Amino acid sequence: MINIALCIYSAVKLKLIMQKIVIFFTLIQTFSVLGTADLEVGFYQDSCPNTEQIVRSTMEQHYSADLKIAPAILRLHFHDCFVRGCDGSVLISSSSSEKTSPFNAGLSGFEVIDDAKNRLESGCPGIVSCADILALAARDAVSLTGGPSWEVATGRRDGSVSSALDTFNLPTPFDSVAVLKQKFLAKGLSAQDLVTLTGAHTIGRAECRLVSYRLYNYTGKGDVDPSINTNFANILSMQCPRKGSGRNLIPMDTGSPDVFDSTFFFNVVQGNGVLESDQKILDDMSTRAYVRTYAGFDQAANSFESAFADAMQKMGGIEVKTGSEGNIRKVCSVLN
């Protein structure tokens, strides 16, 4: 009888200890989640309810004055996210900031983000991060050019470091597909994401200096890159003459450089990719099928747009600072 009572007593005690252990671990989990809050759609709903409309109307205004703003902002967001995460570090102006790196040559559109920030600061000072403004503006850039739209989770905090030395992991048009895949994988993005996000080149332009070597001296013997369609090589040679054209800007999606569509992939399948890295995603077996699918060869052509929206949401979450990390900059081009 005494033995049975002892057994029941031990079982009850063990149960209580187990309950305490469960409560302890639940508390630890809760505190660690509080320290690193996640991004959230509508993060500014209470603190600055008009955030998304203000960014949108700023974009609309700049875009109606100059269509080139849309691709510029989209590229800016990409270059922000790949270096120290999406934390607005690309926006900083200083003698050694990311902006000064050769990897970031040709970036533009900074004034649009500064403008949106000014407008937001006048109603909600110190609330909306520059990193979020850029992520929202990039979404608007795509929808303004006829592409998809998506919900942007917000709550990013701004970084307090911006160094040109950190930009080496940005992809270049001279990288092999293996290297590009590696650079994307390091940011949690797959081979499919690489192809999908490269589709951003459906809008915007590239300088001839990044293309001419494919036309005039591909292997150092005065030859043409054999992956370029011959007719297209002739067109490119007219746009980028051998001498003095380095700074000329040429469309990366021949035929519709101001419209967000899937013709970029169709062009690549035809050998009409402008950047070498754009053309090479057709040759590599791990990326080829996605290019063909988005071009409309293997499946419905419009699968690109929804994949692009998903990939942008993924890219916008790279190494973000949230909760008590980072800060909210007062001026986007200046560290607090």
The one catalytic residue in 62, 77, 79, 201 is 79
Q: Residue 147, interface with ligand HEM (CB under 6 A)?
A: no
Q: Tell me the C-alpha to C-alpha distance, in Å, between residue 63 and each of 58, 119, 145.
A: 8, 17, 9
Query: Residues binding ligand HEM: what is the number (CB under 6 A)?
Result: 26
Q: Is there binding between residue 280 and ligand HEM (CB under 6 A)?
A: no
Please identify, among the stretches 22-30, 47-55, 122-130, 195-203, the one whose residues bind ligand HEM according to the rule CB under 6 A: 195-203
Site residues for ligand HEM, 260-279, by CB under 6 A, read 275, 277
Distance in Å, CB of 123 to ligand HEM, minimum: 30
Q: Using CB atoms within 10 A of its CB, is residue 256 exposed (0-12), middle (13-18) or buried (19+)? A: middle
62 annotated active-site: no
Residue keyed to tokens 């293996």? 178
106: closest CA among 204, 9, 196, 185? 204
| CB closer to ligand HEM, 55 vs 170 | 170
Q: Which residues of 181-196 are buried (b: 16+ CB within 10 A; e: fewer)?
A: bebbeebebebbbbbb
The minimum distance between CB 285 and ligand HEM, in angstroms, equals 17
Given a contact cutoff of 8 angstroms between Cβ atoms, the answer to whether 309 and 152 are in contact is no
Pick 130 or 252: Cβ nearer ligand HEM: 252
The whole-angstrom separation of Cα 55 and Cα 114 is 11
Q: Which of 150, 79, 74 is nearest to 305 (CA)?
A: 150
Query: 50, 57, 143, 172: which one contacts ligand HEM (CB under 6 A)?
Result: 172
Q: At what angle do helices 130-144 and 69-81 cross, to 10 degrees?
A: 140
171 belongs to the binding site for ligand HEM (CB under 6 A):
yes
Binding mask 59-78 vs ligand HEM (x if CB under 6 A, - otherwise)? ---------x--xx-xx--x
* Smallest distance from ligand HEM to CB 34, Å: 32
Quote the CA–CA distance of 45 and 315 in Å, as a whole number.
23
Give 121 or 254: the residue with its C-beta nearer to ligand HEM.
Answer: 254
List C-alpha distances in Å: 143 to 67, 129, 163. Answer: 13, 22, 31
In angstroms, rounded to a whole number, what is the distance separating the alpha carbons of residues 258 and 210?
A: 20
- Shortest gap between Cβ of 104 and ligand HEM (angstroms)? 9
Residues 200-239, interacting with ligand HEM (CB under 6 A): 200-201, 203-207, 210
Return the amino acid letter for 67.
L
Q: Which residues bind ligand HEM (CB under 6 A)?
A: 68, 71-72, 74-75, 78, 105-106, 108, 171-173, 180, 194, 197-198, 200-201, 203-207, 210, 275, 277
Task: Tell me which residues are annotated as active site.
Answer: 79
